Amino acid sequence: MTIETVETHRAHGGTQGVYRHASGATGTTMTFAVFVPPAAAKGPCPVVTYLSGLTCTHANVMDKGEYRQAAAELGLIVVCPDTSPRGEGVADDPAWDMGQGAGFYVDATQAPWAPHFKMWSYVTQELPAVIAQHFPVDTARQGITGHSMGGHGALTVALRHPGRFKSTSAFAPIVAPTQVPWGQKALPGYLGPDTALWRQHDAVALIEDGARPPDLLVDQGTADSFLAGQLKPELLQAACDAAGIPLTLRLQEGYDHSYHFISTFMAEHLAWHAERLKA
């Protein structure tokens, strides 16, 4: 699997790069960002994947997430994929919460999305293989995080891959997409009417159905305009309490849904991951 280097920059003693490759999963060119810390010069490093939210690309967190200093100090590789396939011939929707920029980290089965919208396979299989081939990662030490739709992706990916991800966190995640408007639009749109398939992409439902992560960290701003209608972290708290899963849910007073919120707590999330990804 070959990759093309789009750009690289020296940062905090490490290297921030942007790369692209021909994806077999999506049938398109996919772009992703990787930060490699200075510790990689001495050997493979643990890796944390960050999944972005609706309307975003790899560039949003790369430009505004403020993760590089912490990642350099902690010795973490940080991988930031795009949120959907893009390009000529790729289906789209006039709404911002469906189509390009809104892949929801599922493998679509419905027209017109099925040919390209295979983000589940991309982030769980293809991209990790590309990263392992081209970057000095310790594949036994993987963590995952994300924001909003990407927080939904991070939680569901980790819950369905027990043992693979040793650390999981999220910023303002969509914890129960089957119970909120964003998910009630996207899941049937991409997956059709089978509600059993929807449950496979719903963190609360997965926990209700038996998924048991070791622990979780979630930060949520109290001034987030999507808090009550779309995010509902109390549903995740209730599911974790019922299942005996340690959840650190931190309600951050006055913070909204933006990258001002994410960047404020990014270093703490990376420290959480680093603690759990120790050799």
Q: How far, in Å, are 60, 149, 177, 231, 273 from residue 117 at the CA level?
A: 20, 15, 18, 23, 29
Question: How many other C-beta atoms can be found within 10 angstroms of the C-beta atom of residue 195?
Answer: 13
Q: Where are the beta strands (DSSP E) in the chain?
A: 4-11, 14-22, 29-36, 45-51, 77-81, 137-146, 165-171, 216-221, 247-252
The catalytic residue among 58, 201, 257, 269 is 257
Give me 70's structure tokens: 């912490």
Q: What is the DSSP letter of 19?
A: E
Strand order across the beta sheet in which 216-221 lies: 4-11, 14-22, 29-36, 77-81, 45-51, 137-146, 165-171, 216-221, 247-252
Of the candidates 52, 58, 224, 273, the residue annotated as catalytic is 224
Q: Which residue in this structure is represented by tokens 């305009």?
A: 225
Q: 262, exposed or middle or buried, with CB in 10 Å at 0-12, 13-18, 19+?
A: buried
Q: How many CB atoms lie within 10 A of CB 61?
A: 27
User: Is 55:102 a contact under the CB 8 Å cutoff?
Assistant: yes
- Choose the catalytic residue: 23, 52, 84, 148: 148
Query: Is residue 63 exposed (0-12), middle (13-18) or buried (19+ Cβ within 10 Å)?
Result: exposed
Residues recorded for the chain:
279
The question of whether 202 is a catalytic residue gets the answer: no
169 is catalytic: no
Cβ burial of 230 (10 Å; 0-12, 13-18, 19+) is buried
| 148 labelled catalytic | yes
Quote the radius of gyration of the chain (alpha carbons, Å).
17
Active site residues: 148, 224, 257
